[in-house]
């Protein structure tokens, strides 16, 4: 509307409108990337974050498999350790020597050919608490000491004696009339265990 047609006298608002009308009329238009810079940054950050997350999840999946394998191996190792510890616990229960009834009649046979062998063992065993020890000499000599028992009820006593004199496992036999018989081949002190006990 022309000034001649404007019915009111100019005031301070008209002056401000005239001053503003010249500003920005020839300003260049901003490029697309600059107008949308904030959106470009957000999209780029989202893409980078997505790539990082995918890489992290992929690596976790691989470690998850390793962890799944490791506990299995650890479990099998712990089972093996438990089994061996159970066996180790089982051994001490078998290890203590059987209780010997030292009142059981015991025959010591000189099977080593040394003079006084049976008598020396008799003295040693009597010192260890055996109450009824008799001696004899074998017709045939042998190299290893042996303990025999006739009846099953004397097996524990025979095994206790075998452990004491170092004769290994006691054996059941009817060859001798005594309930327990020890065939000695070495003097006390010459054998591995007999020397310690005598």
Average pLDDT of the chain, as a whole number: 76
Long-range contacts of 151-154 (CB under 8 A, 24+ apart): 151/179, 154/101, 154/104, 154/179, 154/180
pTM, full prediction: 0.48
Read off the pLDDT of each residue in 73-89 and give the average, rounded to a whole number. 57
Question: Does the domain spanning 106-197 belong to CATH 3.40.30.10?
Answer: no
127 by DSSP, 3-state: which? helix
* Distance separating alpha carbons of residues 67 and 93, to the nearest angstrom: 39
Please tell me the predicted confidence (pLDDT) of residue 70. Answer: 53
pLDDT digits (tens, 9 = 90+) for 126-184: 888 888 888 988 888 888 899 999 988 888 988 988 888 888 888 888 888 888 999 88
Classify residue 143 as exposed, middle or buried by CB count within 10 Å of its CB (0-12, 13-18, 19+). Answer: exposed
118 by DSSP, 3-state: which? helix
């Amino acid at each position: 509307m022309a000034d001649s047609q404007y019915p009111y006298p100019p005031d301070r608002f008209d002056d401000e409108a005239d001053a503003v009308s010249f500003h920005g009329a020839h300003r260049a238009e901003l490029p697309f990337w600059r107008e949308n810079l904030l959106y470009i940054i957000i999209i780029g950050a989202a893409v980078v974050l997505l790539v990082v997350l995918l890489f992290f999840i992929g690596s976790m999946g691989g470690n998850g498999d390793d962890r799944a394998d490791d506990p299995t191996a650890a479990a099998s190792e712990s089972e093996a350790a438990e089994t061996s510890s159970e066996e180790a616990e089982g051994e001490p229960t078998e290890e203590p020597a059987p209780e010997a009834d030292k009142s059981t009649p015991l025959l010591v046979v000189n099977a080593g050919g040394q003079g006084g062998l049976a008598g020396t063992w008799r003295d040693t065993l009597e010192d260890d608490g055996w109450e009824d020890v008799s001696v004899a000499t074998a017709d045939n000599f042998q190299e290893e000491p042996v303990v025999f028992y006739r009846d099953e009820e004397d097996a524990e006593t025979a095994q206790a004696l075998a452990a004491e004199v170092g004769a290994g496992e006691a054996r059941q036999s009817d060859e001798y009339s005594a309930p327990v018989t020890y065939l000695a081949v070495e003097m006390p002190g010459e054998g591995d265990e007999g020397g310690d006990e005598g």
